[in-house]
């Protein structure tokens, strides 16, 4: 079994590297993403479509700093402060990631982004 920590590292590396295939491997079919503007993306296909477009943009960077994490037998919750830059735009967000264990894998079930 891949550890929860290795999965979250792979998830964040896939985002930083704009690697849609690697990112997709970390998603639960029923994933929900809440964007900073309150819009929700429900389900694997909607989340992948959004990230396909986002990953194609090359002028953004995002630094993630973990501020809290808790793992139980079947759940991993990690909270990060994200420092996001895209051209002249800058934002700081609080990002909460909830992974659940499915068989031998850990998959992202919930991703909540909130502006700071």
> What is the value of pTM for the model shown?
0.95
Q: Which residues contact 45 (CB under 8 A, 6 or more apart)?
A: none
Look at phi and psi of residue 60 and say left if phi exceeds 0, alpha if psi is from -120 to 50, else beta: beta
DSSP 3-state of 43: coil
CA distance 33 to 14: 16
**Domain 4-115 in this protein, CATH class:** alpha beta
pLDDT tens digits for range 26-75 = 999 999 999 999 999 999 999 999 999 999 999 999 999 999 999 999 99
Mean pLDDT of 88-93: 96
Q: What residue spans define the domains of the chain?
A: 4-115
What integer pLDDT is reported at residue 2 of this predicted model? Answer: 83
**What is the distance between the alpha carbons of residues 97 and 63, in angstroms, rounded to a whole number?**
15
* For range 7-19, the mean pLDDT: 97
Mean pLDDT to the nearest integer, 6-24: 97
Question: pLDDT per residue over 64-89, tens digit each?
Answer: 999 999 999 999 999 999 999 999 99
For the cut 90, the answer to whether the pLDDT of residue 1 exceeds it is no
Residue 33 confidence (pLDDT): 98
Q: Is 87 left (phi over 0), alpha (psi -120 to 50) or beta?
A: left
Average pLDDT score over residue span 88-114? 97
């Amino acid at each position: 079994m891949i550890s929860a920590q290795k999965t979250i590292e792979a998830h964040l590396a896939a985002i930083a590297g704009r690697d849609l295939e690697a990112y997709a491997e970390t998603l639960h079919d029923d994933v929900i993403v809440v964007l900073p503007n309150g819009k929700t993306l429900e389900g694997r296909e909607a989340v992948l479509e959004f990230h396909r477009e986002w990953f194609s943009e090359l002028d953004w960077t995002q630094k993630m700093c973990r501020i809290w994490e808790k793992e139980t037998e079947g759940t991993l919750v990690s909270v990060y402060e994200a420092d996001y830059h895209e051209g002249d735009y800058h934002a700081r967000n609080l990002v909460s990631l909830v992974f659940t264990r499915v068989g031998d894998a850990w998959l992202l079930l919930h991703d909540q982004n909130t502006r700071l």
